[in-house]
Amino acid sequence: MMIKPKVIIIVSGILVLIGIAITAYQSQITSENLTNEQNMLSTGSQMKVTKNMDKNNNQMGVYSIQITDLKSDDKIKATLIDPSGSATTESITKSPIQKMFDITSTGNYTLQIENQGQQQVQVLGIIGYYPKGIEILDISGFIVLMIGLSGLAVGMMYLIKNRVRT
């Protein structure tokens, strides 16, 4: 029985496209649930990123902070403020960081980032819902993409092998 490399290549190409589509959909869902802001923070300045969240929509929130070229002597403070005004503060010692939090009530959640160091820093702050089921989409998109790429490689090997014979 002769293996038809064209069929393998076509099916594998379709799998690659499906993997890319799943990954793009996962990215779209993630970005719809998040609010982000990027700023240069000079010494003593702060920035705020606010997102209105409904606890009936999702009960898990997430925030992330990325600081370009974070140095050991930089002093960055992050504060999460919930709708009741309750605040949780922590010092940022590594970049990037990601923290999950419970959405206890509906309203505005604010991520406040303050530069208490001696030099200007570039900061990206992100806050929003932690997307439900996103891990499954992320993993399945990657797996389908890898299967498709592997199939393309196998199909090309059979195509070359069959051309050498003729």
Question: On the CB side of 53, how many CA atoms lie within 13 Å of its CA?
Answer: 31
The model's pTM is: 0.68
Angle between helix 134-165 and helix 5-32 axes, rounded to 10 deg: 160
What residue has token string 């196998």?
A: 154
pLDDT of residue 108: 94
Spell out the per-residue pLDDT of the chain, length 166, in tens.
Answer: 567 888 889 999 999 999 999 989 888 887 788 888 999 988 889 999 999 999 888 888 999 999 888 887 788 899 999 999 899 999 888 888 899 999 989 999 999 999 988 888 899 999 998 877 777 887 888 999 999 999 999 988 888 887 777 6
Task: Evaluate the CA torsion angle 66, 67, 73, 74 in order and state its sign.
Answer: negative
- Cα–chain center distance at 53: 19
Residue 79's Cβ-side half-sphere holds a number of Cα atoms within 13 Å equal to: 11
